[in-house]
Amino acid sequence: MKTKIRECFGLLVFVLTMLSLTSCEVEIDSWYDNDDYSEVYYRKTHELCSRTWQESWEQDGKYYTQRLDFYENRTGKDYIRVEYRDGCVTEDIYYFDWNWDNNTQTCIRMKYGPDDVSYFERIWMSDNTLSGLLDGTEVYFKGRY
């Protein structure tokens, strides 16, 4: 009987421990996305948000223009214009929330929706150019004031 009570008590302790662990909310809010951390990090965010970034290219007979706007409140706008050979033009605007995704501020996580996330990696800003890998594709945006 004593053994049975110990087994039940052990099982009860285990279940209570597991329940208490599952009720913990762990929030991973990175220190490196806090512009108050240092002047260097603030300057990089300010530079990113100081202008519209634009890139144009031709692919499959269509002419594309993409513009990215980043705002310091961690929101943004992705504008895509497609010009077709027959003269038709489509324009789409997508809104996203963004944050720095690493401590060197060379990766941005852009969340367009619950299951729609893009990554802008290996970011380099210099001479009015924003370059890197946007979802694995090399991009070179020029700044527009």
Q: Measured between alpha carbons, how far is 97 from 77 in angstroms, rounded to an integer?
A: 9
pLDDT given for residue 41 in this prediction: 55
pLDDT < 50: residue spans in the chain: 23-31
pLDDT, residue 31, reads 44
Whether the model pTM is above 0.85: no
What pLDDT score does 91 carry?
98
The pLDDT value given to residue 69? 98
CA–CA separation, 97 and 108 (whole Å): 10
| Amino acid making up residue 140 | Y
- In total, the chain counts a number of residues equal to 145
Class of domain 51-144: mainly beta
Nearest Cα neighbor of 53 from 140, 122, 124, 141 is 141
Three-state secondary structure call for residue 46? helix
How many Cβ atoms from other residues are within 10 Å of residue 141's Cβ?
A: 22
